[in-house]
């Protein structure tokens, strides 16, 4: 490797470190700003988005597992 390659690798490593530090600081600031009111607001926003997407019809489930019914109870009633 040439000295240019080593220098480039060193600079790239420093850039990655600086980027990681900036992301960590941004996350720390976001964490400081989280309040119960903010959490409640996000819940309300999520519910409003779901309501906007709803077409007014209840979901229809097709297929899937059949629930187990007490067969023993059914046989007792036959006797």
pLDDT tens-place values along the chain, 79 residues long = 788 999 999 999 999 999 999 999 999 988 888 888 888 999 999 999 998 988 888 877 776 666 666 666 666 665 5
CA distance 8 to 1: 11
The count of domains in the chain is 1
Q: Give dist(CA 26, CA 23) in Å, integer.
A: 5
- Domain assignment of residue 34, given as a range: 1-51
* Domain assignment present for 76: no
40, part of any domain: yes
Question: What is the pTM for the complete model shown?
Answer: 0.43
| Summary mean pLDDT of the chain | 84
The single-letter DSSP state of residue 27 is H
């Amino acid at each position: 490797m040439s000295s240019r390659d080593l220098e480039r690798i060193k600079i790239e490593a420093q850039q990655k470190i600086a980027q990681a530090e900036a992301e960590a600081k941004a996350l720390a600031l976001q964490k400081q700003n989280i309040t119960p009111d903010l959490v409640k607001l996000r819940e309300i926003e999520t519910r409003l988005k779901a309501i906007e997407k709803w077409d007014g019809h209840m979901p229809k489930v097709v297929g899937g597992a059949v629930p187990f019914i007490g067969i023993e109870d059914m046989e007792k009633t036959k006797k």
